[in-house]
């Protein structure tokens, strides 16, 4: 069943060493061709029947908040692909119904507009730039009581403003949500980046759920929560972390498997702090930047992950992930 392969990086990638920009450490990269009806191909979102979003449904292009809100309205759970054209500005929290794919054309997404998946199933977000959602409108993306969610090739950010509670999370996964994959996504310039499990007292709803895969993500200039996990199960691999105080924080009995990641200038790469009970971590093949994994040793292992996956190897992560994470898809 289980095959963890370490693949050769395409020679094309290995040779793509354009000058990085000073703040993003991202090489110039060829856009990736994708289709609007792609289904989740990696991580926990491939389990529990898989995640197809709006595949097979109508395709609607939206460029205003009103059009977007109508296209994802709760009274219509039929599969639909919603193509976002341009940046939709506003101050709002938009609740999205089941069976939707939200895809951005190059340079498209939301500014100030938070997305909420509450009590829904089967949702995909790809190629979206989300910025500056104030805490009054939730997180960039809030996933609550929802299952089968795939976030891929997107960018979530705000700014390290002086009030660290002005913004809440970039992507928070809470209230018993399950089967979530966040892949090839760039998180940057934010305080409280990604929270899995919102409260020490929510074990009744969360235990046995909150299974989240974080693969091939780039986290830069984020203070903490890369991610913070209570009660759940998180598999974190092939990711690049630069300039963080705390990255992986495992709490309240959470089990995390942390493999093939690179941590540069991260004070606490893997830890267990700030809860009434510790969580656990298994760490394999990471470059911890001279630091140590200080979380108690866990039991989530390669053998207990229920899907196939590919490790890049820590020595390959910086070159590949800094250039591949983010909204580089073309449709």
Ligand X SMILES: *[C@@H]1O[C@H](CO)[C@@H](O)[C@H](O)[C@H]1NC(C)=O
100 sits in the region (left: phi over 0; alpha: psi -120 to 50; else beta) called beta
User: Is residue 316 at the binding interface for ligand X, with CB under 6 A as the rule?
Assistant: yes
Q: Report the nearest approach of ligand X to the CB of residue 210 (Å).
A: 13
Q: Tell the smallest beta-carbon distance from residue 242 to ligand X (Å).
A: 4
In the beta sheet, which residues pair with residue 27?
none
Nearest-5° Cα angle at 63, 60 to 68: 60
Pick the stretch among 81-89, 135-143, 193-201, 227-235 that binds ligand X (CB under 6 A): 81-89
Residue 232 CB coordination number (10 Å) = 29
Neighbours of 18 (CB within 10 A): 10
Give me 178's structure tokens: 């399950």
Touching ligand X, residues 112-141 (CB under 6 A): 121-122, 131-132
Classify burial at 228, counting beta carbons within 10 Å of its beta carbon; exposed 0-12, middle 13-18, buried 19 or more: buried
Choose, by CB under 6 A, the member of 101, 220, 272, 323 that binds ligand X: 220
To the nearest whole angstrom, how small is the minimum distance from the Cβ of residue 149 to ligand X? Answer: 12
* Separation of alpha carbons 76 and 98, rounded Å: 8
Count of residues of this chain found to bind ligand X when the rule CB under 6 A is applied = 45
| Secondary structure (3-state) at 170 | coil
Of 18, 59, 66, 73, the one binding ligand X by CB under 6 A? 73
Distance (Å, whole) CA 278 – CA 62: 45
CB of 38 to ligand X, least distance (A): 17
Q: Could you tell me the CA-to-CA distances from 120 to 99, 164, 195 in Å, in that order? A: 8, 30, 19
Nearest-approach distance from CB 60 to ligand X, in angstroms:
13
The verdict on whether omega for the bond into residue 227 sits within 30 degrees of 0, i.e. cis, is yes
Question: Between residue 247 and residue 276, which ones bind ligand X under the rule CB under 6 A?
Answer: 253, 255, 265
Distances (CA, A) of 16 to 7, 87, 298, 324: 17, 29, 37, 11
Q: Is position 8 an interface residue for ligand X (rule: CB under 6 A)?
A: yes
9 is a site residue for ligand X (CB under 6 A):
yes
Q: Which of residues 11-30 bind ligand X (CB under 6 A)?
A: 14, 22-23, 25
Q: Give every CB contact of residue 275 below 8 A, 6+ residues apart in sequence.
A: 200, 230, 251, 252
**Residues within window 86-115 making contact with ligand X, judged by CB under 6 A:** 86-89, 98-99, 111
Kindly indicate which of the ranges 32-40, 76-84, 102-110, 194-202 contains the residues binding ligand X, using the contact rule CB under 6 A: 76-84
**Active-site residue, 230 included:** no
Among residues 211, 225, 230, 251, which one is catalytic? 225
Residue 214 or 218: the one with the smaller Cβ distance to ligand X is 218
Interactions with ligand X, residue window 291-310 (CB under 6 A)? 299, 304, 307-308
Tokens, residue 258: 């942390």
Among 50, 203, 289, 313, binds ligand X (CB under 6 A): 313
Cβ neighbour number for residue 38 with a 10 Å cutoff: 18
Smallest separation (angstroms) from ligand X to the CB of 34 = 21
CA–CA gap between residue 325 and residue 127 (Å, rounded): 10
Q: Candidates 30, 66, 296, 315: give the one binding ligand X (CB under 6 A).
A: 315
Residue 242 as a binder of ligand X (CB under 6 A): the answer is yes
Give Cα 249 to chain centroid, integer Å: 15
CA angle 269/275/281 to nearest 5° reads 40
Residues with catalytic annotation?
225
Binding site for ligand X (CB under 6 A): 1, 3, 6, 8-9, 14, 22-23, 25, 63, 73, 75-79, 86-89, 98-99, 111, 121-122, 131-132, 159, 161, 220-221, 242-245, 253, 255, 265, 299, 304, 307-308, 313, 315-316
């Amino acid at each position: 069943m289980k095959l963890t392969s370490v693949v050769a990086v395409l020679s094309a990638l290995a040779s793509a060493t354009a000058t990085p920009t000073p703040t993003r450490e991202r090489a110039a990269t060829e856009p990736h061709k994708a289709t609007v009806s792609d289904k989740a191909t990696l991580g926990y979102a491939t389990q529990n029947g898989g995640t197809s979003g709006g595949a097979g449904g109508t395709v609607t292009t939206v460029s205003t908040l009103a059009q977007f809100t109508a296209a994802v309205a709760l009274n219509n759970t039929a599969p639909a692909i919603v193509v976002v054209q341009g940046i939709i500005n506003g101050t709002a929290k938009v609740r999205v119904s089941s069976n939707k794919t939200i895809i951005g054309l190059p340079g498209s997404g939301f500014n100030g507009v938070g997305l909420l998946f509450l009590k829904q199933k089967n949702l995909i977000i790809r190629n979206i730039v989300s910025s500056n959602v104030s805490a009054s409108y939730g997180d960039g993306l809030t996933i609550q009581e929802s299952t089968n969610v795939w976030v891929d090739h997107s960018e979530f950010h705000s700014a390290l403003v002086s009030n660290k509670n002005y913004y809440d999370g970039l992507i928070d996964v809470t209230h018993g949500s399950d089967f979530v994959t966040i892949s090839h996504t760039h998180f940057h310039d934010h305080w409280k980046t990604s929270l899995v499990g919102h409260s020490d007292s929510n074990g009744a709803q969360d235990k046995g759920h909150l299974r989240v895969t974080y693969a091939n993500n780039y986290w830069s200039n984020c203070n903490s929560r890369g991610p913070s996990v209570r009660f759940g199960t998180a598999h974190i691999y092939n990711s690049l972390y630069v300039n963080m105080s705390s990255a992986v924080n495992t709490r309240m009995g959470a089990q995390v498997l942390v493999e093939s990641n690179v941590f540069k200038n991260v004070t606490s790469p893997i830890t267990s702090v700030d809860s009434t009970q510790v969580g656990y971590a298994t760490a394999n093949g990471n470059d911890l930047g001279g630091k140590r994994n200080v979380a108690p040793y866990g039991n989530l292992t390669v053998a207990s992950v229920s899907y196939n996956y590919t490790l890049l190897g820590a020595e390959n992560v910086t070159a590949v992930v800094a250039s591949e994470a983010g909204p580089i898809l073309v449709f």
